[in-house]
Copies of this chain bind each other. A is one copy, B any other.
Amino acid sequence: MDKYRVKPEEKIRLKDWDPDETDSFDGGKDEGRERLQELNRELESLQELLYAEHKHKVLIVLQGMDTSGKDGVIRHVFEGVNPQGVRVANFKVPTPEELDHDYLWRVHRQTPAKGEIVIFNRSHYEDVLVVRVHGLVAEEVWKRRFAHINDFERMLAEEGTLILKFFLHIDAEEQKKRLQARLDDPTKHWKFNVGDLKERARWADYMQAYEDVLNKTSTEFAPWYIVPSNKKWYRNLVIASVLVDALKGLKMQFPQPKEDLSQVVIE
């Protein structure tokens, strides 16, 4: 899955990345779903170990255009994990209190504690994406933020946080299909927001903003993965695989009991 990781010095052009491809898996959709179930079980065990060891913090950032599948990833990849140790942080339009502070203030509060996995459903990256596309702050302001964000993530990483960032890459045609499906299905109307169409109209601007994000903020300590996401089963498989590999890489161990349990008698 390393082919999807953006190397720090790489120069990304999103049109060179095919959102339809499924190259890193030999089977099709059905085999892919079976494999995902195996990964779900592995993730469940690794998350329990993470919680028990109480040493590492894990931060997962999900970014992507509307309908790219952020909610679907949370549902399908994390199926079965213990909610005690996994938390989702949603970053919506900032509140007045949040706007009165720097843009990382509300984000830092939500970062994971030891033993915890936190999933950012959108994130501080919106402050160089939507904020840029809609000109909510001056260019000199959002341009400085790439450095802030790298500094912030370096600090988190050096203080014990594993950071993985996923860009769910779909194309405009796929989004059209998915929006239409929402429109056609009354049980999905709650997910349809007329405002999303305005964002869709800015597709090219968003792709440019995402390219800058991927080129400026993929680091050794907080890499971005560009996840082909036109096919949902493959998107889930890529993310689950990266996550399982990264957690295994932490070489976690259950902590030793503080007392010699072999001497304990339960009466």
Contact = CB atoms under 8 A, between A and B. Distances in A.
Interface of A: 54, 57, 97, 100-105, 108-109, 111, 113-116, 141, 144, 148, 151-152, 154-156, 158-161
A160 B102 CA distance: 8
Contact of A109 (B109, B113, B151, B155): B109
A155 B161 contact: no
27 contacts: A54-B100, A57-B101, A100-B113, A100-B114, A100-B115, A101-B111, A101-B113, A102-B111, A102-B155, A102-B156, A103-B159, A104-B108, A104-B155, A105-B108, A105-B109, A105-B111, A108-B108, A108-B109, A144-B158, A148-B151, A148-B154, A148-B155, A148-B158, A151-B152, A151-B154, A151-B155, A152-B155
Contact of A159 (B54, B102, B109, B114): B102
Q: Which among A144, A151, A155 has the greatest number of chain B C-beta atoms within 10 A? A: A155
B109 A97 contact: no
A154 B116 CA distance: 29
A144 B156 CA distance: 12
A156 B54 CA distance: 30
Nearest to A109: B109
Given A109-B109, A113-B97, A102 B151 contact: no
Q: Which among A54, A114, A151 has the greatest number of chain B C-beta atoms within 10 A? A: A151
Nearest to A107: B108
A54 B97 CA distance: 12
A151 B151 CA distance: 6
A139 to B, nearest CB: 14
